[in-house]
Structure 1
């Protein structure tokens, strides 16, 4: 059974980003909202770890940590805070409530994965000396799914979770014409309704990002079929 990580965040986009990273690396995730919902889910579901998305002008993270550490059944489980840049002052308040670890955003996902694996007694991330999970390579593109890293032509790219999922699916199916419905299933959660036009918008964003570091247009539009990842000849 996959270890369950409860993610407390009011930012749906950030939850999609973080849940994708964790699930690719073998964790299961669930989303929680405020203090009471997080405490209730932590009590009922008994997650192996809790991750708090702490906002700069909010004390919700400290309140949740204090409640969790006061519960007998959850006190031994690691609680991790992700602190927004410029809000480092929260670290001391979180320490007072018993936080186990804190990371200031933006942070390297591999560090969070390594910490959780160590705390939960799982095999070390990247036991072969790499970042773990292997790489997906297509021409000058390289993706490391476990750490959510993308490089193109030697440059590090920063993609949102949807663009990252789209690129992963395309690179896993090189040369194949992937329909918009197929891409929706690959890149969006099952409970979110997405139309074909939305796929076009995200593909356009992905193309613009790739164009900044590469002269090749590797994402081809296949008329009446969808999109494919192909190298120029």
Structure 2
């Protein structure tokens, strides 16, 4: 984990240096960018393992950069933490809708930021090293390969973010079982952050959209949460 490269895109030089310092103290490699253009140019020669992205950049809106990363086959699976001074819930939701894995609101604790990075990378590592013998979950025309972190609908691969994959895998681990939003939040983020219920709803909506016709297997249970319903369930 500690050999991974973290790209930091932040136009405030003091914040950029602060994050870089703590990233390196945690054992990661840091690549610093004060604007979106220099970061996007860097992607032409190298791909980082993680991105910390400020929303308020001087040249290109951070949300547009996020969208670009998710639309590029080479970068669509890179974990992204959005760094923003905006505190209103809708602004955070927009970032999540575009595929960000997490967000940190300024002012922030560098220790908390590093904890978030490690938590996301740890989840990715656990999924990559899932035990053999229980790799695939099949629900109707939906197939989830836990070892390869791949999802297929009618044998066509569907690209999901790490968070979307984790939510889908959790729901699919017990078909028919109703998971409350609190249970899903605990399973995905643990006790390392306060997450509003709307966060889960946003990820579920994106998940259904990406799964297409297989999205119908994810059912809302009013006032409780979500479940995956097997095709033959009533």
When the two structures are superposed, what TM-score results if normalisation uses the length of structure 2?
A: 0.49
Structure whose CA Rg is larger = 1
When the two structures are superposed, what TM-score results if normalisation uses the length of structure 1?
A: 0.49
